[in-house]
Structure 1
Amino acid sequence: MPPPPPPSLPDDLLEEIFLRFPPDEPACLVRASLSSKFWLGVLSGPRFRGRYHEHHEAPPMLGFLRAWPAGYDPDGKGPVPRFTSTAKFGARIPDDEWDDFDYSAWDCRHGRVLLGDTHNTALLVWDPMTGCRRGLDWPNLLDDSHGFAVLCAVSGCRHRTCHAAPYQVVFVGMEMNVDVDDDCVAFACVSLPETGDWSKPCPPSDQWGKQCPHLHLPMDAFIQPMPPVLIQEAVHFMIRYLHDDSQGIIMFDLSSNSLSLIAAPIKDSEIGTSSIIMAMEDGSLGYAHVNGSTLYLWSRLMDSNRVDSWSKRTIINLGNLLPIQNPVEKIRLVGSVEGGDVVFVTTVLGIYEINVESQRWKKLWKRINFDALIPYMSFYNRQERVMLAPGDAAHRQGMAEYA
């Protein structure tokens, strides 16, 4: 007689085991779903996906994109999108050309990547999970310096897997004020989720038709080429002043359609290449700065009088934390994870991810010269990829990488 089949686990216990699979290793769930039709049904069902997202809360980092310095082309292929996986996840990059434009990554949020071409004439929103792309016209506005952000447009969304949800793009620009010497004016507009058309630039007019006060800045101010951070309903862009190499932060509040300026917590002659802004886990605005081998972190919180101010939060000696061989080695901040208290730094030996709260770190990649590391955060949804384009060659290649 053949041996009896092994005893099966109760459905609830099976789900509890699957819930503990690490979200930053999607291959574990894929292999389990290939074991049987029953397991596939459990793992692809909406009940399990909802529980899995709630159990792990924030989406994991599945990879990152690199933003290159102007004129730097290490591969000789032009500034096409470059995606590096940090898990067994293959981004769906279409086989066809990218509309004859050379795109670079400018921002990534809520499962989507915003790409811009080198001549500032085209925008593209790309979903690495599904491979979907949508082009946007460049805002019909004059500007001397600009920044962009992409975000989900669904109110109340928790951004676990909102790949099919509407999105919007925020544009913040600065142009010289023709009425005042040594002065420039900041403005902002937002793409409409339904059509992709751009809203009228703010600052808006008030109820009497009078123009609200503009945000005036020195003429040498410019928006730094690094991704902005989103905190609640406000997008924050780092700006730099050339006359003294100091920094500031432009905040665009989507709820009030208004712009405001936040001063940086420090002034330093090397601040422009050694500082970034962050969206902290507690919902506050963070500011990280490296001086030598020491990392300083400030957060901007509201006091009992409802006044926002900077307070020093953490000081970390990276020389004692990371495998740094040369005490005078230059360390540079290149990015952060929104809402995760995580920063990315470059050293001679490579690129490192550091959790500033736990001070745990890991090496992400080899050392290479780029302006910014843009993390791609998302839960892997196998069903979404299969249903979207089951016969796509890029999809089949990607699935082979997972298995």
Structure 2
Amino acid sequence: MREDGEMTGRRPHLAAAPETPLDNEDILDQILLRLLPRPSSLPRSSLVCKRWRRLVSDPGFLRRFRAHHRKVPLLGYFAHDYQCGNICFVPALDPPDRIPTALFSLPINKRSNITGCRHGRVLVINRNRKFLVWDPVIGAQRQVYFPMAFRGDKYMSNGAVMCAAGDPGHVHGCCHSSPFQVVMLGHGAERLLACVYSSETDAWGNPISIMLPQNSMVVSADCPKNTLVGNSICWLLTGENVAILEFDLGRQSLALIEAPQDPYYNTFDSDDYQLMITPAEGGGLGFLALLGFNIWLWKRKTDSDGVVGWVLKNTIELSSVILPRPCVGRSPPAILGLAEDDNVMFLLIDGDGIFMINLDSTQFKKLPVDRSMYLHTCHPFTSFYPSGPLAFTLSPLPRMSGSA
């Protein structure tokens, strides 16, 4: 319209709508990076639109997502169900993040048993002198036969699996294509023996040994049987006394570390005690003793004079932490396992069920229990899930063939 009021034939110019933050892919990328690292977060985001799906399924975004969070989610735990003969998965997260139990299931024969989980892999021992390394998320399996050094009077005590990726900034929890190592521990009449398998070379290294203490210590039957602390795998040794066997992966050396003294008897020789090696808060080696409903936590420290020793850092009274309060008159709690990255202990409390206890914050969570399954040990499992641009669905993975 002209100033004199006469209409013109031109259409009025419409101003372009202002750009919102979500229209800027750099800003949107930073927003999506801050989603919780839960199994449902990225799949749900991918359903918003094609643009979001393209962003969250990009391999570069997935690497940045894992690097941003670093904290790998604890999905649940594995246990050996002796009744059906399978390795069963028990989820620890609530819906919609709960991983279906049937998704992670592995049939094994009667001569096999699970010995641990770490960095997204499960290690199974077969008494026919071989290991099975299983990646439940992608269904990959590899068989590893025992080394020659463990024949004769050397026999297997325990095994451990871990990621061997040495890339700067590598985040454990999506190590499907990364190399891994298996550490095997055994003992003969006089010596403890350790050996390391590398998936990169598909070979075992040279065996490393140390003299057994005179009090005939053996790897503790308590769980967990080994703990990764820094660059060392540690085992609890029990016998007339208690000690810690440390295998330094970098130095390829074995050493014995004295355990802390208990507050009552000076040595942990009471059958009522349950003992466990833990990563200490802030790093380093920790030690836990459970007696009844009381927990003592130690940390190994170096004082100003350079003397290395144990310091009692905390005590936890379970009857005052867990609600509703467990009945003290019942059987004492039983340690089932430890999630190293979270410093979370799994406890079986008779009549109340299985509890996850964070040893730093003392926060707890009760997990569902299958009353038909006998539990002696559980193996916590941490991993980013789903993983990869093609895994944006919670449908079951392809069925695996064969059994351990």
Calculate the TM-score normalised by the size of structure 1: 0.80
**Equivalent residue number for residue 147 of structure 1:** 158
1:377 aligns with 2:382: yes
Asked whether the equivalents of residues 62 and 388 of structure 2 are also in contact (C-alpha less than 8 Å), the reply is no
Once residues 128 and 279 of structure 2 are traced to their aligned partners in structure 1, the CA distance between those partners, rounded to angstroms, is 27
Count of residues paired in the alignment: 359
1:235 aligns with 2:248: no
Write the deviation string for residues 59-117 of structure 1: whole angstroms up to 9, x where unpaired. 1111211257xxxx3xx222x2222222323575578x65x565322111111111112
1:18 aligns with 2:29: no
1:38 aligns with 2:51: yes
**Equivalent residue number for residue 191 of structure 1:** 197
Letter in 1 for 2:257: I
Write the deviation string for residues 376-401 of structure 1: whole angstroms up to 9, x where unpaired. 111124426649xx9xx941699xxx
1:262 to 257, 261, 266: 257
Letter in 2 for 1:54: A
Letter in 2 for 1:338: E
Report the 3-state secondary structure (helix = DSSP H, G, I; strand = E; otherwise coil) of the residue aligned with 1:319. helix
Once residues 104 and 315 of structure 2 are traced to their aligned partners in structure 1, the CA distance between those partners, rounded to angstroms, is 40
Gaps of 5+ in 2: 1-16, 262-266
Counterparts in 2 of 1:397 and 1:115: CA distance versus 1, 3 Å: closer
Once residues 153 and 108 of structure 1 are traced to their aligned partners in structure 2, the CA distance between those partners, rounded to angstroms, is 14
**Equivalent residue number for residue 300 of structure 2:** 300
**Equivalent residue number for residue 114 of structure 1:** 123
2:342 to 340, 343, 352: 340
Letter in 1 for 2:367: L
User: How far is 1:120 from its partner?
Assistant: 5.2
Write the deviation string for residues 328-381 of structure 1: whole angstroms up to 9, x where unpaired. 331122222214232221102111111122221111232764232211111124
**Equivalent residue number for residue 401 of structure 1:** none
User: How far is 1:217 from its partner?
Assistant: 2.0
1:123 to 105, 120, 131: 131
Instruction: Map 1:314-393 to 2 at 5 A.
Output: 314-322=314-322, 323-329=324-330, 330-348=332-350, 349-366=352-369, 369-383=374-388, 386=391
Once residues 67 and 285 of structure 1 are traced to their aligned partners in structure 2, the CA distance between those partners, rounded to angstroms, is 28
Once residues 234 and 390 of structure 2 are traced to their aligned partners in structure 1, the CA distance between those partners, rounded to angstroms, is 32
Counterparts in 2 of 1:155 and 1:101: CA distance versus 1, 3 Å: farther
Rg (Cα) greater in structure:
2
Report the 3-state secondary structure (helix = DSSP H, G, I; strand = E; otherwise coil) of the residue aligned with 2:64. helix
Gaps of 5+ in 1: 177-183, 204-213, 399-403
Which moves more between the two structures, 218-227 or 127-136? 218-227
Write the deviation string for residues 217-252 of structure 1: whole angstroms up to 9, x where unpaired. 2464221243411122211011211xx4x4221111
Write the deviation string for residues 246-301 of structure 1: whole angstroms up to 9, x where unpaired. 42211111122111111221323346861111123422111111112111111112
**Equivalent residue number for residue 217 of structure 1:** 213
1:77 to 63, 77, 84: 84
Report the 3-state secondary structure (helix = DSSP H, G, I; strand = E; otherwise coil) of the residue aligned with 2:63. helix
Percentage identity across paired residues of the two chains: 29
Report the aligned-residue RMSD.
2.9
Letter in 2 for 1:269: D
Asked whether the equivalents of residues 145 and 222 of structure 1 are also in contact (C-alpha less than 8 Å), the reply is no
Asked whether the equivalents of residues 187 and 201 of structure 1 are also in contact (C-alpha less than 8 Å), the reply is yes
Once residues 126 and 384 of structure 1 are traced to their aligned partners in structure 2, the CA distance between those partners, rounded to angstroms, is 21
Once residues 385 and 126 of structure 1 are traced to their aligned partners in structure 2, the CA distance between those partners, rounded to angstroms, is 20
Report the 3-state secondary structure (helix = DSSP H, G, I; strand = E; otherwise coil) of the residue aligned with 2:176. coil
**Equivalent residue number for residue 89 of structure 1:** 99
Asked whether the equivalents of residues 88 and 104 of structure 2 are also in contact (C-alpha less than 8 Å), the reply is no
